[in-house]
Structure 1
């Protein structure tokens, strides 16, 4: 392997380490964001439950007012029943009175059902609040750990950026441009090793995309110190060792 590919290998090695550090930083940020999303979801759930409690309690209050109004009406019907002077009038008022009693029982059932739902939703709120408090405590721990790690990783990142700049200065500008384009296209993986399909046949494929590589490129890699690219994925190709068959 010539000086050009050696320099590119050093650059690729630093690029790989840079990518690893960046991924570690991004992973920690994603962990924090995931916790934040869970907290936001729990807070939204609690807000919804409290809204349900408020609406259900309002319904219970309306039912209670209706029941009191009907109780007053029932008392008046009883008074009227006692003042009746004919069987026909008595029967009519008695029918109203019995109907009112049935309606009051239904309203009381509605009040009890509403109050039971309020109690159930309050218990749900308390349980969700406990979960929320735990999530907030865990978020605080994760955020602190992430901040400390990012500070440490940022120092590594700066050191690697300096190393990358130094390594890049050892590469010809035209070659560096090819490397940078391949990096952008393949998430930092600008180089690909040639893989021999069969030890007794001069058949090679790109280690990056598995496309077949022409023999003239294999010959060029073994005889010249210049950049050869995969015609499919544009990665910079290299051989770990000379090809084991004559090509």
Structure 2
């Protein structure tokens, strides 16, 4: 086999390997995306639960303060019943009224925190449902990954081994060119020369669709053991046997 034929064989096997890998890679990317979304929702849930704890604690503190003020009011009223002078009575009355105002403020604060806890709990209930739904999506995505591994596994190993054997036929320098172009063009290291009009010598690169100089066509057809590249995109050019024969016949 010529270098061009060996490169084409390697190209076909490389394409198969990339195709098999892409299926597994795509499944793994989907699984990772779903897991990332789940982590984000669970973090949000954790923040809401911490917020609820703080709100509940603040409500309890305000209620405790209100109860303590209420106890002070009772004590002041008992003192009012025991005093004998109007001055003492008036002072205690002012104190009781002030305490009532403070109690009202504490009760308002407690009520605000209780209302906030109710709203936060509603949000928690919603997020918990989202977590459950997202866990199902993560589980399904993980199942897809395992199924892809099973489906691709043996076949991928086989094709990778065939590609490795095919690569051994290629000279080191030529293989380096192939690998570089495959990396740069996402696996499309080779491009077929497409005949547009044989009489007018019009041929284009199947990779970038640009017109090719006739010398590139001649080089590809007449030098099967050399690499000829597209001057525009740099891909390795190849021609179908029937086109080479037709060109030679011309």
TM-score over 0.5 for the pair: yes
Comparing 150-159 and 173-182, the one that deviates more: 173-182
Match of 1:76 in 2: 75
> Kindly tell me: are residues 84 and 204 of structure 1, through their superposed partners in 2, closer, same or farther at Cα, counting changes over 3 Å?
farther
Comparing 54-63 and 78-87, the one that deviates more: 78-87
Distance in 2 separating the partners of 1:179 and 1:8: 8
Structure 1: gaps (5+ residues): none
Distance in 2 separating the partners of 1:38 and 1:83: 68
Query: Deviation string for 1:85-112 (max 9, x for gaps)?
Result: 4444444332322222122112112112
Q: How many residues align?
A: 244
TM-score after normalising by structure 2: 0.82
Distance in 2 separating the partners of 1:139 and 1:3: 49
Are 2:17 and 2:156, in contact at CA under 8 Å, matched by a contact in 1?
yes
Match of 1:227 in 2: 227
Comparing 53-62 and 171-180, the one that deviates more: 171-180
Shift of 1:174: 4.1
Shift of 1:171: 3.9
> Kindly tell me: are residues 85 and 132 of structure 1, through their superposed partners in 2, closer, same or farther at Cα, counting changes over 3 Å?
same
Query: Deviation string for 1:8-27 (max 9, x for gaps)?
Result: 22221111111111111111
Are 2:229 and 2:237, in contact at CA under 8 Å, matched by a contact in 1?
yes
Helix, strand or coil: the match of 1:56? helix
Distance in 2 separating the partners of 1:218 and 1:24: 36
Helix, strand or coil: the match of 1:130? helix
Helix, strand or coil: the match of 2:237? strand
Structure 2: gaps (5+ residues): none
Are 2:216 and 2:228, in contact at CA under 8 Å, matched by a contact in 1?
yes
Helix, strand or coil: the match of 1:227? coil
Match of 2:108 in 1: 109
Shift of 1:172: 4.4
CA RMSD of aligned residues (A): 3.0
Distance in 2 separating the partners of 1:76 and 1:99: 14
Helix, strand or coil: the match of 2:230? coil
Comparing 102-111 and 226-235, the one that deviates more: 226-235
Match of 1:236 in 2: 236
> Kindly tell me: are residues 170 and 100 of structure 1, through their superposed partners in 2, closer, same or farther at Cα, counting changes over 3 Å?
same
Distance in 1 separating the partners of 2:113 and 2:6: 76
